[in-house]
Structure 1
Amino acid sequence: MNYIKAVLPMKDYRLFMEMESGSIVIADLSGKLCTMKYAELADEAFFKTATTDGDYVVWGGGRLRLTVNELMEVVLLG
């Protein structure tokens, strides 16, 4: 089942996501860039490659993939 309808990388390492349910979610990834898991996103050009396959947000043609659950954890817990 697809959860993510559209993704748009925004300035300051924020990620706009339109969900299939119609909800809009903005995930602020700036606080995670110093972690090993998210460090590659600190490259602004790489961050701007964000797309979705419906289940994941994908960067760099699949080099980095995050699930909806991982991104919602960032939204809810920071």
Structure 2
Amino acid sequence: MNNIQSVTPLESFRLLVAFNNGSSITVDLSAKLKTVRFAELSDIELFNDVRADKNGSETIVWGDGVLKIPLYELIDVVISGK
């Protein structure tokens, strides 16, 4: 599996996730903000404080590890649209 090289927050609670093979995906998390797990990301400052986890880069992290999402879950959001 490809590793996450970088994560860039975009408008409307979307993320641009770039991989080490040169490909990228845009993940729209706006629908997830109504769930218990993702609700705290509705704070735009926290949402914008996103990065690729330094250990293996198959996870993205917000803040000081407040929330972590593995790559497979991000891909599921892209595929399902939810």
Q: Return the TM-score normalized by structure 1.
A: 0.93
- Does the CA contact (< 8 Å) of 2:33 and 2:39 recur in 1? yes
Equivalent in the alignment of 1:58: 61
- Identity rate of aligned residues, in percent? 40
Q: Which runs of 4+ in 1 moved over 6 A?
A: none
Gaps of at least 5 residues in structure 2 are: none
State the alpha-carbon separation in 2 of the partners of residues 55 and 62 from structure 1. 14
Matched, 1:77 2:80: yes
- Does the CA contact (< 8 Å) of 2:2 and 2:21 recur in 1? no
State the alpha-carbon separation in 1 of the partners of residues 77 and 49 from structure 2. 19
Q: RMSD across aligned C-alpha pairs, in angstroms?
A: 1.3
Deviations 1:13-58 (A, max 9, x none): 0000101221110000001100011111111111000001212110
